[in-house]
Amino acid sequence: MVDIATRVYNHKWKIDPIVRSLIDTDFYKLLMAQSVFRNRPDVTVTFSLINRTKEVRLAELIDEGELREQLDHIRTLRLSRGESTWLRGNTFYGKRQMFRPDFMEWFERLQLPPYHLEKRDGQYELTFEGRWPEVMLWEIPALAVIMELRSRAVLHGMGRFELQVLYARAMTKLWEKVERLRRIETLRLADFGTRRRHSFLWQDWCVQALIEGLGDKFIGTSNCLIALRREVEAIGTNAHELPMVYSALAETDEELRQAPYRVLADWHEEHEGNLRIILPDTYGTRGFLAHAPDWLASWTGIRIDSGDPSEGAETAIAWWKSRGEDPRQKLVIFSDGLDVDRIEELHARFSGRVKVSFGWGTLLTNDFRGLAPGDALAPFSLVCKAASANGRPTVKLSDNPNKAMGPPEEVERYKRVFGVGAQTALEVVV
């Protein structure tokens, strides 16, 4: 096992890059990239970095030269033969050849497009523009680079013993969580922590701890590279990006209203009986389910990623019942701001009523709260989102208005079209 503290103390980035592979990314990005490559390959999309935690002034913490070196390094990466063989030949979700030959040939030739970086008001403005299938694959590595450079900046002045103690405390903290989680008899939990991890080495350590500590209760990781190396399942389906871009391309209010369902129709055709998980909250869960076509009720389950998770699950259960489906045969995946207390609470409430699973993210792979002076390693809310498509702004409403994004006039239009009424604002932890 890697001595992380010593690696940090002796760190030289050129022999230890933050992102070391094009598959050091979330599985759902590759699944979505294949769908986009097939259905919307020529759409031009702009992605933008958004730091929701304004008090973390990234441009004052992270050296611009080092940031550019890391981003430039990512543009030199190409898919290795072993990585290609794994993607082409492995079985994912019970399906052989999840990735089509034409997509793999394109991916094997891919170089990520250029980036644009500026400083403004203590923050970095980092944007990526290009063809959607290419530029979308910047999202996860860009976030991972920023998060880890922030960690390195905080750790830079620490001595060898201080680092050893810090990581020992972080390991103890995680293992205490594992000991609590292993008591849950029917737990199903996956690592969703790539995008806002403390570092690659720490995420890899966390996954190894879950493999040993949880056994069969740990069902896999969203990180493709770690899934390959640790021989665990790669986990993921789709994300808000798809309905955000499809909606931006809509010409009329009626096309806009139907765009989220068009996304899932394309997804259904792409994956047939696999990966049928609905992410309903992009423009409000209640409205989405109320107007959903009947064929969506037969899908495997729903992922809840914003708002009150208990309310979201109750809404899903009521919807399935109204469509003649048995909720006990359906899967609910909770994935928003989870930590052990919330996991225990949600499992106790919904186990037996639905199949329950958890995508544990930032507070798995970046919970250094209280471990550094001034709490300087506490996680913060950083995202990289599709901001426009073919020159039109994207919008996300969410079930939590504090997660909404887009120009104010477009946000109001989307609320009108999708019938979104009053919402409860909740703190965005990560």
Residues 275, 299: Cα–Cα separation, whole Å: 9
CB 283 within 8 A of CB 420: yes
Using 50, 70 and 90 to split pLDDT, how confident is the model at 222? very high
φ, ψ at 50 (rounded to 5°): -130, 120
Q: What is the mean pLDDT of residues 107-125?
A: 97
User: Taking 90 as the threshold, does the pLDDT of residue 8 lie above it?
Assistant: no
**Closest CA relative to residue 118, chosen from 74, 70, 67:** 67
pTM for this one? 0.96
Lowest-confidence region among 84-88, 216-220, 266-270: 266-270
Q: Name, in order, each residue with C-beta under 8 angstroms of 106's C-beta and a sequence gap of 6 or more.
A: 37, 133
Query: What are 292-335's pLDDT values in tens digits?
Result: 999 999 999 999 999 999 999 999 999 999 999 999 999 999 99
Query: What are 40-78's pLDDT values in tens digits?
Result: 999 999 999 999 999 999 999 999 999 999 999 999 999
